[in-house]
């Protein structure tokens, strides 16, 4: 798909070609520039999704904390928009939250929203395709934004995410043997990707230049970055006419 849309190759089934990577990202930026900075706006007119979305994400974080040692230290909200997820989810779990969005108006909105909250520390204006992390994180939260990245940029972004994960203070796991053998290990940071899922292949929306990937495509991309899927969650209580939504918890293989 990317070769046809971006690299000049012709295909009879492709109309209104995007033309270049710069044009791909420009259209998405323009779409969000013209979207109102409200919960209903950032949810595409589906404000009713907010409560079930936050409810299930809360449960997923609790599950990861209890079963995979997710630490509630520092998290970054990637593609944070108006700060909806930061406010209603991440600040209720993590000690420190950083936010990143490509649109200055959303960064300004969040700076005003969280002005008196010292938990929110860094406000970063950047597209994820060019984001370079300056901190290490216990959790990197990526929701409804990876669909704007090309496959190559998504792979490169996930690689940078993997390198920005913390390895927390080592703990001792005692394996019950006659010698009470103890093994040292590190609790690793976790990347969480929450996205719409196509039934197969991919679906391109040229209104905002986004691509909805199938689960198979997501898993292939995760594998290329040597990320291990440790848990996933199917979103509940969304309207049946919408794409299904899944959360993926990923840890580095090494």
Average pLDDT taken over every residue of the chain: 90
Percent of the chain with pLDDT over 90: 81
Q: Is the pLDDT of residue 84 over 50?
A: yes
- d(C-alpha 53, C-alpha 234), whole Å: 11
Neighbours of 237 (CB within 10 A): 11
232 sits in which H/E element: strand 227-234
CATH code, 42? 3.40.50.150
Domains in the chain, number = 1
Q: Is the pLDDT of residue 180 over 50?
A: no
Consult the annotation and say whether 128 binds a ligand.
yes
Consult the annotation and say whether 158 binds a ligand.
no
**In this predicted model, what pLDDT tens digit does every residue of 203-214 receive, in sequence order?**
999 889 999 999
Count H helices, E strands: the chain? 8, 11
Consult the annotation and say whether 143 binds a ligand.
yes
Consult the annotation and say whether 121 binds a ligand.
no
The token pair that represents 181 in the structure block: 């053998």
Q: Domain range spanning residue 49?
A: 2-252
Consult the annotation and say whether 84 binds a ligand.
yes
Percent of the chain with pLDDT over 70: 85
Residue 190: its pLDDT value, please?
98
């Amino acid at each position: 798909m990317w070769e046809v849309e971006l690299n000049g190759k012709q295909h009879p089934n492709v109309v209104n070609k995007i033309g270049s990577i710069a044009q791909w990202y420009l259209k998405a930026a323009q779409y969000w520039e013209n979207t109102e900075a409200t919960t209903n706006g950032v949810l595409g007119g589906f404000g009713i999704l907010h409560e079930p979305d936050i409810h299930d994400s809360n449960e997923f974080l609790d599950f990861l904390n209890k079963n995979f040692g997710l630490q509630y230290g520092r998290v970054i909200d990637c593609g944070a928009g108006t700060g909806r997820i930061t406010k209603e989810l991440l600040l209720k779990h993590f000690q420190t939250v950083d936010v990143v969005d490509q649109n200055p108006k959303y960064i300004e909105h969040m700076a005003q929203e969280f002005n008196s909250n010292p938990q929110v520390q860094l406000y970063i204006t950047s597209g994820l395709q060019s984001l370079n992390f300056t901190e290490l994180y216990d959790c990197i939260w990526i929701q409804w934004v990876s669909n704007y990245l090309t496959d190559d940029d998504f792979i490169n972004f996930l690689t940078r995410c993997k390198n920005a994960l913390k390895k927390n203070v080592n703990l001792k796991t005692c394996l019950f043997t006659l010698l009470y053998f103890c093994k040292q290990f590190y609790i690793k940071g976790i990347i969480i990707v929450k996205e719409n899922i196509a039934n197969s292949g991919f679906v391109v929306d040229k209104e905002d230049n986004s691509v909805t990937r199938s689960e198979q495509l997501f898993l292939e991309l995760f594998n290329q970055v040597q990320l291990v899927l440790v848990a996933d969650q199917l979103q509940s209580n969304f309207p049946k006419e919408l794409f299904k939504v899944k959360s993926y918890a990923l840890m580095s293989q090494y």
